[in-house]
Structure 1
């Protein structure tokens, strides 16, 4: 998972050490949102798509997500939210929106969010679509509720899909400040409370046509879905890699008693390496098949759960402390398993 970004590794490491690591406990315990770190990544050019192929963009940005997740998956999740929104802007045929937002999204001036948890479940037959859109002069009137949208803030934009009729759905991006749009912060999660997550209620919200990314959301989702899922894979790999390192640090604990535990770091390393090889094989193919991406995402979710549980067992009572790194990673991993597409969502689409 290392493409053109190799020469920027020192910069990435420096940003993580200076702008993120000092705030990890505050993020976990006090729901601190590391907005500054996300903006610094953009300012450093780490979201730039200039002179890159689509696969180079994906690999480079997946690497940044992975390195971030090693230290704080909550913030890496916020980064995924931004990259998902950036994917929408990169792929739209709406030249006006691309001109207005692409540069701002890539340089960190404006941050984005996905808003597609409910729609992705809708397309998998798990939920009904929660937003409706009524055509009006110059755009649409939108009503409904999105239960959870993360990485939101005063100057942020987020994606949405709303049903116009039985056979038509639109996709748009909207700013957080809109007449009729009410945001209610959610900080009652087991983990990831520093993700700036809100319930979004739309009450006759006017969305001008200039903000519509596609008048055919069904086709647009097919276009952006591979990247949407691919950017999630390094969330799990980062947590897995940091768990492996943590396991190895305590290998001599209690006179080396950890050697008798059934799962050891070498087993986790082998499974993680296999996933890395599958990613490279996938990216060497002509195009990204979204179900192949989903399969890797599912394997990563199960490996991450295995890695954090193993990390807890190897650390023993030290890991059971509320503010310990192993317990934080455990909570992050369970969130990752329930991030759309969830494990059960993935199991369904890969089976049916």
Structure 2
């Protein structure tokens, strides 16, 4: 547990986990509840209104929430990632406009840069076009899948394609003309995460909403935080599954204890590697190392849930005995497909490993 997170302060997420997963709880409360506990301030410089610490402290905070509710952790990731964009943007106007309200949880921030991360890898084209318009920019396009689009108000980051072929990163708010939010997507789980699509039609922005004029520079710069914060979800989900497995492994099921211990050891080793890589700034230029951690952590989540099932046996199918297991099983199904998906990352690693075109191999 992160020393900056009071475990008892997370009881609300524990008690609402099932309802948030099914979409039966008030999703609008998640951001304010996270903000009220000061969780968004972790890893943010004190000079900017945060509590200090480093990026891995924020990862651990998301992991702590993920142990209670992956829906809430998913929202936490979206908000904290947008906060990170504001910490790294050269645009002081944007930071001054939104950061304070995002830190205290009175406003929601969403990362719409999944499309941009795929664009950088050549997987897909940008889905929003920017056209010059009398000293401003007119935007048209769509963001098909974005989390933390709180109905009470949000700001979302997006990469847009300019006519001169240089993409830029912008921030859009739900209150400006031309921005509309769809109904919540019909997800299998994590239904209380305010996940929806954004339609953009003739939306006009000025310089104050440009987070960076060059997405090809900004996205690699923020990608380590984007992915590392995301990995907090995997770390937390694996930890709670392994802890539950250890508690359930009795009698004949005690045979799985060595596997639980080995998996827990590997999990914490990867968490330590993630901490070291962030502290040293290595992932900015060595993205493949971060991709490998992401892939391996996804595998550990699946192993951890399998061990929880093995340790629990038939009782895992009885809600009265282990209601949290069924929710975690569904939550875990999301880990491999969250952008960038495991398939996309494996494709990236394969490209890095492939010899240059024209190379003759024996």
**How high is the TM-score relative to the length of structure 1?**
0.89
Supply the distance in 1 between the matched residues of 2:306 and 2:227 (Cα, whole angstroms).
Answer: 24
Supply the distance in 2 between the matched residues of 1:95 and 1:284 (Cα, whole angstroms).
Answer: 25
Structure 1: runs of 5 or more not aligned: none
- Could you tell me whether the CA contact under 8 Å between 2:130 and 2:160 is conserved in 1? yes
**Which residue is 1:47 aligned to?**
40
- Could you tell me whether the CA contact under 8 Å between 1:33 and 1:196 is conserved in 2? no
**Which residue is 2:5 aligned to?**
9
**Which residue is 2:273 aligned to?**
278
Offset at 1:52?
Answer: 7.8
**Which residue is 2:359 aligned to?**
none
Report SS of the residue matched to 1:56: coil
Supply the distance in 1 between the matched residues of 2:17 and 2:275 (Cα, whole angstroms).
Answer: 31
Report SS of the residue matched to 1:336: coil
Supply the distance in 1 between the matched residues of 2:80 and 2:277 (Cα, whole angstroms).
Answer: 20
Report SS of the residue matched to 2:61: helix
Instruction: Answer yes or no: is 1:265 the counterpart of 2:260.
Output: yes
Of stretches 86-95 and 304-313 in structure 1, the one that deviates more from structure 2 is: 304-313
Root-mean-square deviation over aligned CA pairs: 2.4
Supply the distance in 1 between the matched residues of 2:258 and 2:234 (Cα, whole angstroms).
Answer: 18
- Could you tell me whether the CA contact under 8 Å between 1:183 and 1:201 is conserved in 2? yes
Supply the distance in 2 between the matched residues of 1:251 and 1:274 (Cα, whole angstroms).
Answer: 23
**Which residue is 1:217 aligned to?**
215
**Which residue is 1:292 aligned to?**
289
Structure 2: runs of 5 or more not aligned: 352-362
Supply the distance in 2 between the matched residues of 1:101 and 1:304 (Cα, whole angstroms).
Answer: 35
Of stretches 285-294 and 52-61 in structure 1, the one that deviates more from structure 2 is: 52-61
- Could you tell me whether the CA contact under 8 Å between 2:27 and 2:194 is conserved in 1? no
Supply the distance in 2 between the matched residues of 1:84 and 1:121 (Cα, whole angstroms).
Answer: 17
CA 1:60 to 1:115, structure 2 compared with 1: closer, same or farther past 3 Å?
same
Of stretches 104-113 and 212-221 in structure 1, the one that deviates more from structure 2 is: 104-113
Supply the distance in 2 between the matched residues of 1:65 and 1:24 (Cα, whole angstroms).
Answer: 14
**Which residue is 1:86 aligned to?**
83
- Could you tell me whether the CA contact under 8 Å between 2:91 and 2:211 is conserved in 1? yes
Offset at 1:15?
Answer: 2.2
- Could you tell me whether the CA contact under 8 Å between 1:131 and 1:144 is conserved in 2? yes
- Could you tell me whether the CA contact under 8 Å between 1:309 and 1:330 is conserved in 2? no
Report SS of the residue matched to 2:340: coil
Offset at 1:310?
Answer: 2.3
Find 1:27's aligned residue among 12, 17, 20: 20
Report SS of the residue matched to 2:339: coil
- Could you tell me whether the CA contact under 8 Å between 1:179 and 1:205 is conserved in 2? yes
1:226-265 CA deviation, whole Å, 9 max, x = no partner?
Answer: 100110111101001100111122212xxx2324559831
1:275-319 CA deviation, whole Å, 9 max, x = no partner?
Answer: 123123324425443332222222111111211122233333333
Report SS of the residue matched to 1:133: strand
- Could you tell me whether the CA contact under 8 Å between 1:139 and 1:206 is conserved in 2? yes
1:93-118 CA deviation, whole Å, 9 max, x = no partner?
Answer: 11111111122222222221001122
Instruction: Answer yes or no: is 1:36 the counterpart of 2:36.
Output: no
Supply the distance in 1 between the matched residues of 2:326 and 2:206 (Cα, whole angstroms).
Answer: 45
